[in-house]
């Protein structure tokens, strides 16, 4: 990485606020609202995330509720694609396809409108952070179930100790992240 890129990532990382013991003891919550609230950081984060796909054809960006909507919407605008929301069960108004995914304890269900993707469409999956990768794994399966080609998965933050990015790469999906934090 060149010096300019290192400075940029350092500045971006400094714009993320860490809240210890939220929502429960032992969790270091990585709060991106401070990054989003800073005009320069927000723009740079979006520019950096889409960089590898500038100029390639992307049909849809799929964002995971809720912070993935903010980042995914900005990325979709940048690459001139459509946007598809992936939501928790029961939130979308039309007929849905669903997929259960692993949480730390138990499982949950995510959904997407059944007609949101046309088979063969090239899709980028977006969320703010990847931890264990359970949510993103469910989203990749959901997208593939509707015939999407998942071109990449993008996250501002990676918690590499939890292995999520490696899990998504092992599914054959390239993963792009901008910064790492140790632990969870
Ligand atoms: P996972 O399914 O374990 O990869 O968890 C990813 C989801 O949980 C993302 O939607 C994140 O926003 C959220 N998340 C998990 N861990 C953290 C953390 N330490 N700080 C902020 N958000 C987190």
Catalytic option among 30, 44, 67, 87 = 67
User: Does 104 qualify as catalytic in the annotation?
Assistant: yes
Look at the alpha carbons of 147, 118, 155, 81 in this order and tell me if their dihedral is positive or negative. Answer: positive
Which is it for strands 149-158 and 60-64: parallel, antiparallel or unpaired?
Answer: unpaired
Q: The domain 56-180: what is its CATH number?
A: 3.40.50.2020
- Its pTM stands at 0.96
Residue bearing the CA closest to ligand 1, atom 9: 129
**Span 142-175, pLDDT tens digits:** 999 999 999 999 999 999 999 999 999 999 999 9
**Span 42-101, pLDDT tens digits:** 999 999 999 999 889 999 999 999 999 999 999 999 999 999 999 999 999 999 999 999
The lowest-confidence range among 20-24, 100-104, 112-116 is 100-104
Closest ligand 1 atom to 30 CA:
20
Do you find a cis peptide bond into 35, omega within 30 degrees of 0? no
H/E run at residue 107: strand 107-113
What pLDDT shows up at residue 55?
85
Instruction: Tell me the domain boundaries of the chain.
Output: 56-180
What pLDDT shows up at residue 3?
66
Q: Is the pLDDT of residue 183 over 90?
A: no
Residue bearing the CA closest to ligand 1, atom 15: 131
Residue bearing the CA closest to ligand 1, atom 13: 129
Structure tokens at 47: 């520019």
**Span 107-141, pLDDT tens digits:** 999 999 999 999 999 999 999 999 999 999 999 99
Distance, in Å, from the CA atom of 125 to the CA atom of 127, rounded to the nearest integer, reads: 7
Give the residue-averaged pLDDT of 26-52.
96
Spatial contact of 67 and 32, defined as CB atoms under 8 Å apart: yes
Distance, in Å, from the CA atom of 168 to the CA atom of 184, rounded to the nearest integer, reads: 18
């Amino acid at each position: 990485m060149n010096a300019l890129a290192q400075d940029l990532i350092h500045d971006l990382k400094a714009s993320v606020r860490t809240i210890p013991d939220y929502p429960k003891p032992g969790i270091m919550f990585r709060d991106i609202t401070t990054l989003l609230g800073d005009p320069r950081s927000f723009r740079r984060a979006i520019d950096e995330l889409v960089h590898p796909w500038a100029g390639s054809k992307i049909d849809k960006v799929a964002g995971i509720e809720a912070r993935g909507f903010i980042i995914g919407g900005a990325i979709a605008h940048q690459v001139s694609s459509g946007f598809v929301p992936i939501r928790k069960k029961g939130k979308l108004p039309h007929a849905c396809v669903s997929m259960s995914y692993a949480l730390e304890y138990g499982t949950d269900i995510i959904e997407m409108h059944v007609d949101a993707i046309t088979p063969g469409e090239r899709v980028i999956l977006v969320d703010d952070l990847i931890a264990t990768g359970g949510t993103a794994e469910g989203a990749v399966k959901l997208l593939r179930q509707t015939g999407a080609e998942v071109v990449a998965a993008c996250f501002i933050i990676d918690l590499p100790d939890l292995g999520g990015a490696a899990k998504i790469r092992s599914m054959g999906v390239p993963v792009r992240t901008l910064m790492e934090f140790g632990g969870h």
